[in-house]
Amino acid sequence: MNLTPLALSALGLLAERPMHPYEMYQLLLERHEDWMVKVRPGSLYHSVERLQEAKLVKATGTARAGNRPERTTYAITAAGREALTTRISELLRKPVREYPHFPFAIGEAHNLPAEQVISDLTSYADALDDDIAEIDELLKVVESQGIPEVYWLGGHYIRSTTVAQRDWIRTCISRIESKDLIWQPHLG
């Protein structure tokens, strides 16, 4: 089974303790892991179903609280623990080639006038500044809640890479403005 980041998150939570998918969803949001994993309730429930079909998790019971619908509690299996640790180790050991949109766009930006690229990149860098401020606030919150830092290494990583991206973009803007980076050399 191909373990998506959301499936890995579910296994990671179940490695902590048995729980139902709605509790997993709440914890992912509470821990602000939606910065690292796209979290939607329906997708999470589907991931847990797929994990159960693959025998990586098992249902341990159902309960109903008040008028709420029945909730099935799941626990990670030995095979689930093995799949979790194996996949995390793979991801830590070797980069995964991803295809984000920004590198493609910057690679084709020479098709736009320099002034437009400067304006667009300035907007992008400003948005990254907003993201950095939001990440800083989230990190303060989790630190104030006493959540051990080891659970937030991903947040620190995202902050560092976002700062590096923002700094690279601001340098690129400066190079275009100063004409250190010759823009549209094919038109010259």
Domain boundary among 93, 112, 146: 93
Residue of 74, 45, 50 lying closest to 62 (CA atoms): 74
Rounded CA separation 79/120 (Å): 48
Q: Give the tens place of pLDDT for each residue, 41-55.
A: 889 999 999 999 999
Q: How many domains does the chain have?
A: 2
Q: Which helix (H) or strand (E) holds 93?
A: helix 78-93
Asked if 100 and 159 count as a contact pair (C-beta separation under 8 A), the reply is: no
What's the one-letter identity of residue 154? G
Q: Give the tens place of pLDDT for each residue, 4-40.
A: 999 999 999 999 999 999 999 998 888 767 777 888 8
| Domain extent for 87 | 5-93
| β-bridge mates for residue 108, sequence order | none
Domain boundary among 69, 93, 117: 93
Q: How many C-beta atoms surround the C-beta of residue 174 within 10 A?
A: 12
